[in-house]
A and B are shown apart, each in its own frame.
Chain A
Amino acid sequence: MSEAFLRIKQLHKWFGQNQILKNINLDLSDGQTLSLIGASGSGKTTLLKIIAGLENANQGQIYLRENRIDALSPQQRKIIYLYQDALLFPHLSAFENIAFGLRLQKAKHIPAQVNAMLDKLGMQDQGHKMPNQLSGGQKQRIAFGRALVIQPQLLLLDEPFGALDPEIRSHMQKLFKTLVSSQNLSAIFVTHDLKEAIIIGDNIAKIEQGSLIQYDSKKAFYQDDKSGVNDEILFWKHLKNETNED
């Protein structure tokens, strides 16, 4: 068995009679981001919640750094699950939201760490603001900061930029890549958007009706007729030709 940072083996999940996840096998290397694409209801969110410990699988094993973690509580896993909604704690300021995990850990130099994170996020002067005073993009940045400041083992992102407008979305994608590579974090990034999956992911996996296909490389993904990449390229070519004809 070659070394993998995260390894999922033969994982199954049923909700009543419905099998949501079918024999999921997945490997993620250290410091890599895996983009996970799939239609609504295909089981992406359930898979992330199982990895984070927020749902239980009916069958299968999850290993993190070769340690089996599927019996551990979410608190013990040090895996952060980020939702599409930033879910900032509404009664805490931006500063206190970032400091939340550090205070639980009784960490040292909390103000310095939080200020450094605010700086990285480009929000040095926004720490005093309450969540209802922040824009959608700012909230999502604080949510990132809150997750990254406690140095999680793994980051799980469930369409975190889905609700943002295109310009902010593009900015957030760049910020995500910068922050994740600067901390050498491993992440699974769920998205509907093929382009986003290609920009963000070092590797790509696809989930369809509960079954997961993990590609060996991005190239293998592009070459798969069912990946949707060819359709996308044809669409843009067609659009370009039409524009030229006009």
Chain B
Amino acid sequence: MMSKILKYSFVLAVVFPLVFLLGLSLAQQWQFPEVLPQQWTLQHWGNSLFQQGDILKSLFLSLGLSLSLAGTVSVFAFFMSKHIAYSKHRQLYMRFTLVPYILSPVVLAVIFQYYFTVANLSGNFIGVLIAQLFFALPFGIVIFNNFWNEHLKSIEQLSFTLGASSRQSLLKVILPLSKPAIVLCFFQSFLVSWFEYGLTQFIGLGKVKTLTVMVFSFINEANVFYAALACILLILPPIVLLYMNKKILILAR
């Protein structure tokens, strides 16, 4: 009984909005109180993906930005968190990682905007990437924080006494053991970047048009058909990543 309730709740919460958005993106005309669109068309998809290609460009820009951020955060957070975890000042460092959460990303952007303008980082891809790193990197460090513990330290030390160099120990012992944590960090950082709006808009000066920025822009223009189309594209990569994440974690076990 409970599983049935959960299944229907899932359909209502996830599948129904997706079907609704897909219908909206394929509608030429859909007026209240009609249950289904009066006219269907592939024109919005054709325009967005092939003729004007704005949404497609935004999709690739977003993918580039989020994948770059997720990759950078996973690598840096992995090594920085190790340093922090085995440091005498672990507690202090971990408090520092919480600072970006006290301020919202937009407030952070306002604080740092001057420096971004001086460094010629406003309104471009690199600038937005660096700005997102300000809060995504501490987030990654928090994810890895519990991974580094005395048990893992002992395993690493044991590999040294068995003759492994630091590099061999990293590749043959630590990385295989940290796979679930790395996947989690990559996935979470990707999502943080993927759905980020305020800071991207502020530092990007409206020139870095990620898919999330495009969705807001279509909604502001009351262009519901294109907004629905962009929303579907916005949801797809996280679903793919969620599926991959699950597969990798199951394999790791």
Contact = CB atoms under 8 A, between A and B. Distances in A.
Chain B interface extent, by class: 10 to 19
B248 to A, nearest CB: 14
Interface residues of A, number: 24
A79 B168 CA distance: 18
Contacts of A78: 163
B163 A87 contact: no
Nearest to A73: B160
Interface in A40-98: 52-54, 73-75, 77-81, 83, 85, 87, 89-91
B87 interface: no
Contacts of B155: 87, 89
A54 B160 contact: yes
A104 B161 CA distance: 11
B177 A74 contact: no
A162 interface: no
A17 B176 CA distance: 39
Contacts of A100: 159, 162, 172
Contacts of A83: 154, 158
A75 B158 contact: no
Contact of A104 (B154, B164, B176): B164
A91 B162 contact: no
B165 interface: yes
A146 interface: yes
B80 interface: no
Interface in B148-178: 151, 154-155, 157-165, 168, 172-173, 176-177
Contacts of B151: 85, 87
Given A54-B160, A81-B158, A83-B154, A75 B165 contact: yes
A52 B162 CA distance: 11
Interface of B: 151, 154-155, 157-165, 168, 172-173, 176-177
Interface of A: 52-54, 73-75, 77-81, 83, 85, 87, 89-91, 100-101, 104-105, 146-147, 150
Given A83-B154, A101-B162, 19 more contacts: A52-B161, A53-B160, A53-B161, A54-B160, A74-B157, A75-B164, A79-B161, A80-B162, A81-B157, A81-B158, A81-B161, A87-B151, A87-B155, A89-B159, A89-B173, A91-B176, A100-B172, A101-B163, A147-B162
